[in-house]
Every structure is written in C-alpha cells, then in structure tokens.
Amino acid sequence: MLSGEAFARLFETFERTAFRLETLAVYDVAEEREEYERFLAGGEMGPEWYDNPWVRSMTDKGKAVSRVHVLRSPLTDYLRYELAAYPGNITAGETIGIIDTAESPVSGLPDHDFWLFDDQHVFRMHYTPEGAFLGADPLPAARTAAYRAHRDRALAEAVPFAEYWERHR
C-alpha cells in the first residue's frame, strides 16, 4: 500500500490524465484542518481557495484532472466545505461532476474511492471510519478495464458541478 510521499509522487509522474471517484461524506485531512475551521467560522479563505495551486501544478503542464463525487444530501459540514472549494479547483483546470444519490440513485459504481492515472494505473483508496487516509493499493492490470468503465459510468451519470452548486449552494 502506498501512502505519504510515495502516493504523492503519482501526481508528479502521471503523463496525461488523473481521475478520482470520491465516495465519503467526511475526509479527515490534517493539512486542511485550519482551513476547514476557518470555513466553518465564516472566515476569509485566502487566494489559494480561488485558484488551487495543487491542481494548477498539473493542469499547467497540459495534464487533465477530473473527479466525480458521489454524495447524498443533505450535505455534511465537511462536504459543504469541500464543495465550496471546488470552484477554485475548476478555475485551476479540474473538471468536477456530482452524483447526489438522494436526487438520482446510481448503481454499478464502487463504494470506495479510487484514482485512475493515464487510463492504466488504478489505486484503491483506504480510509479510517473517520475519513483519515490510510493508503492506496495499486490494483492489478487485469482490473483496470473495470475501473475505466466505472469512471466512464460516473462521468456519464454526473451533473456538472456548476449546475449542482447552483441548486444547492
């Protein structure tokens, strides 16, 4: 299982595309805690909020970054925070879609997060029950086609983020 720097290197070494399926209602990310608390308190979020430098570090190199977040409304505080940050990711070049299962149930997608890099490398994400990242398992090449199909289904079912946000902000 990859974690820490080994997992972070994947975002420096993929060549063309990175896709993420997100499924959790809460992620416990140490680097976000201060910003999350500031968001909950209604504080100023700062310039990185409006143009995500992490996403931009990939898209400025011509790489495509996309995600679909499968969620269920009503939103948790964490999801309100995360979705409020998505416009900055979009400004930086990420494509984001939402599947709200309370509005449009979907079947056939995994119940776990994964990253698919360059259509050929799949990593299943593992988290604690509280949403803390434990690591990512590289899946065997024999499972890649199934995860490409999951990505394609998620993208086909997802509502573009701007459309979803307009209705739920």
What is the CATH classification number for the domain harbouring 49? 3.30.870.10
pLDDT at 168: 87
Give pLDDT tens digits for 1-11: 999 899 999 99
Domain residues for 137?
4-168
Following CA atoms 161, 2, 28, 85 in sequence, which dihedral angle do they give, to the nearest 10 degrees?
A: -30
Beta strand ranges found along the chain (DSSP E): 17-22, 64-71, 95-100, 114-117, 121-127, 133-138, 159-160
pLDDT at 46: 85
Task: Give pLDDT < 70 ranges for the chain.
Answer: none
* Domain count of the fold of the chain: 1
